[in-house]
């Protein structure tokens, strides 16, 4: 048998596997760091450590990290088991296999390389699946994930090349020793390797489950609505079914975090178990005295449109969340306009943009009646002494902790739903008596 010249390919395979470990490791780190239930800047760069951290949650990496596709078993484990962790384990296994073949003098055995090809197909296959998920479901491609995709492809390509060289060398050797018996596929050895692969994934996963921060009952208590009834008639129906657990989301129509929360809630599939209504809390000083600076300029004007829309409120809300950046920019321009004789500057550009999209609301927005309703929304928030932030979700009158609105959403919300549903019926609706919804000014 001729000695195959596949050492370089195996080295390159090991290099790409190491790259995969690096990218998956950083991604795992970003995930694990969020297990403390706090907000953190995350890494998002093709060259780890070279780019600036994402502190605003606007990068594709943040979208991918916070999406329900970043982990599995999210309803049984807080945050779930990160895909990146399993990806890191698989790359570690491939590195081990490549080094084993290289250093263990198994390069002459083409079956060793054949197993490398089979094993390295898994990350390529998963990369394709996750790329499609990123493009079509998450709507953002993450730079770290791109690194993982490239590492997967590199590992696969060099495994194939290594295998090809090994088989070529074997073929040459067989021609030299004509008549030698053809080696059969060593299935039992492959089974051992496969079992080793399982160990490489299982050990980190079990360690992760054993060492991750515990989620205690105490951590799920974040307050209740003191006066949940809708005495002002300012709630708008958002989603879910009438038979679901009554829930109130406090939101700002121009808040990027509310957009992210809406997407996560919809992706979780749990929204169908809620009877979800919304209370508007625009963080815009034009109508909200609780903020000294407008966090979301124009949110008061857009909130008027949501209340004016009646049954179409979810459509207006969805549109405003989709266009929150554009509308906030318009609002910021409007806010810079000099005061008029009648008072402070109005949000002329924001109103015009809203009416361009929803012309039928022209008779309602920017009128005293709807402004009064916005004020009542804010007074409802004051009467419940809610924190000045959005979004907030109250299920059956109990608050879903702010720390549980991203990675821990599925776990915490499903537990909250079970608690509320298991309680006696009156308790399940405590704090949320039926009230007018939909809203007409």
Footprint of another protein on this chain (CB under 8 A)? Answer: 21, 25, 28-29, 32-38, 85, 88-89, 92-93, 95-96, 99-100, 103-106, 196, 199-200, 203-204, 207-208, 211-214, 219, 231-233, 287-290, 343, 368-369, 371-372, 375-376, 378-379, 381-382, 384-389
SS3 (DSSP) at 240: strand
Nearest approach, Cβ of 83 to another protein (angstroms)? 14
Q: How far is the CB of 436 from another protein (least distance, A)?
A: 10
Q: Which residues of 183-200 are buried (b: 16+ CB within 10 A; e: fewer)?
A: eeeeeeebeebeeebeeb
Look at residues 212, 270, 242 and name the one whose alpha carbon lies nearest to residue 412: 270
Supply the minimum distance, in Å, between the C-beta of residue 100 and another protein. 5
Note whether 300 and 286 are within 8 A (CB): yes
Q: Is the peptide bond before 100 cis (omega within 30 degrees of 0)?
A: no
Q: How far is the CB of 363 from another protein (least distance, A)?
A: 15
Q: Which residue has the tokens 């309680």?
A: 423
Decide if 322 contacts 259 (C-beta within 8 A): yes
Closest distance to another protein from the beta carbon of 140 (Å) = 24
Q: DSSP readout, 16-78?
A: HHHHHHHHHHHHHHHHHHGGGSS---B---SSTTTSPPB-SS-SHHHHHHHSTTSEE-TTTST
Q: How far is the CB of 431 from another protein (least distance, A)?
A: 16
Structure token pair of residue 268: 């979780």
Task: Write down the least CB distance from residue 38 to another protein, Å.
Answer: 7
Min CB(213)–another protein separation in Å: 4
CA distance 182 to 170: 10
Residue placing its CB nearer to another protein in the complex, 62 or 208: 208
Query: CA 10, CA 314: separation in Å to the nearest integer?
Result: 56
CB closer to another protein, 319 vs 411: 411
**How remote is the C-alpha of 360 from its chain's centroid?**
35
We find the least distance from the C-beta atom of residue 343 to another protein, in angstroms, to be 8
Q: Read off the tokens for 79.
A: 């945050």
Listed residue (380, 43, 123) closest to 236, CA to CA? 380
- Nearer of residues 172 and 387 to another protein, judged by Cβ: 387
Q: How far is the CB of 211 from another protein (least distance, A)?
A: 4
Q: Between 149 and 208, whose beta carbon lies closer to another protein?
A: 208
User: Which residue, 141 or 201, is less far from another protein as judged by CB?
Assistant: 201
Residues written for the chain: 441
For residues 4 and 25, which CB has a smaller minimum distance to another protein in the complex? 25
**C-alpha span between 280 and 299 (Å, rounded):** 9
Cα gap 211→330, rounded to integer Å: 48
Which is nearer to another protein, 32 or 141 (by Cβ)?
A: 32
Residue closer to another protein (CB basis): 36 or 322: 36
Q: Which CB, 35 or 72, lies closer to another protein? A: 35
Which is closer to another protein, CB of 165 or CB of 371? 371
Query: What DSSP letter does each residue of 298-328 carry, written as one string?
Result: THHHHHHHHHHTGGGHHHHHHHHHHTHHHHH
């Amino acid at each position: 048998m001729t000695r195959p010249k596949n050492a370089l390919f195996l080295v390159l395979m090991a290099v790409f596997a190491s790259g995969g470990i690096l990218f998956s490791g950083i991604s795992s780190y970003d995930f694990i760091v969020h297990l403390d239930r706090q907000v953190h800047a995350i890494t998002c760069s093709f060259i780890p450590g070279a780019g600036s951290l994402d502190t605003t949650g606007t990068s594709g990496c943040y979208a991918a990290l916070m999406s329900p596709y970043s982990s599995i078993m999210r309803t049984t484990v807080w945050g779930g088991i990160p895909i990146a962790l399993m990806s890191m384990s698989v790359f570690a296994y491939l590195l081990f296999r490549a080094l084993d073949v290289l250093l263990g003098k198994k390069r002459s055995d083409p079956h060793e390389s054949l197993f490398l090809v089979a094993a390295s197909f898994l990350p390529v296959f998963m990369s394709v699946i996750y790329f499609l998920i990123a493009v079509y479901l998450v709507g953002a491609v993450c730079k770290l994930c791109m690194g993982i995709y490239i590492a997967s492809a590199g590992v696969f390509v060099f495994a194939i090349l290594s295998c090809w060289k090994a088989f070529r060398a074997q073929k040459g050797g067989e021609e030299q020793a004509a008549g030698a018996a053809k080696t059969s596929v060593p299935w039992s050895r492959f089974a051992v390797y496969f079992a080793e692969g399982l160990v490489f994934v299982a050990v980190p996963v079990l360690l992760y489950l054993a060492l991750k921060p515990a989620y205690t009952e105490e951590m799920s208590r974040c307050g209740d609505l003191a006066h949940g009834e809708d005495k002002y008639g300012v709630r708008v129906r958002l989603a879910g079914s009438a038979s679901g657990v009554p829930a109130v989301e406090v939101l700002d129509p121009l808040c990027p975090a509310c957009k992210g929360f809406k997407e996560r809630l919809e992706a979780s599939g749990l929204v169908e178990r809620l009877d979800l209504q919304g209370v508007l809390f625009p963080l815009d000083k034009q109508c909200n005295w609780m903020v000294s600076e407008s966090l979301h300029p124009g949110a008061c004007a857009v909130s008027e449109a949501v209340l004016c829309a009646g049954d179409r409120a979810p459509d207006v809300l969805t549109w405003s969340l989709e266009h929150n950046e554009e509308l906030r920019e318009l609002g910021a321009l409007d806010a810079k306009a000099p005061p008029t004789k009648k008072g402070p500057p109005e949000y002329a550009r924001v109103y015009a943009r809203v009416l361009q999209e929803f012309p039928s609301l022209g008779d309602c927005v920017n009128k005293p009646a709807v402004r009064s309703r916005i004020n009542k929304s804010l007074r409802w928030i004051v009467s419940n002494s809610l924190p000045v932030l959005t979004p907030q979700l109250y299920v059956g009158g109990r608050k879903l902790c702010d720390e549980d609105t991203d990675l821990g959403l599925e776990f915490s919300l499903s537990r909250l739903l079970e608690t509320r549903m298991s309680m006696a019926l009156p308790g399940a609706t405590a704090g949320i008596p039926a009230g007018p919804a939909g809203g007409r000014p």
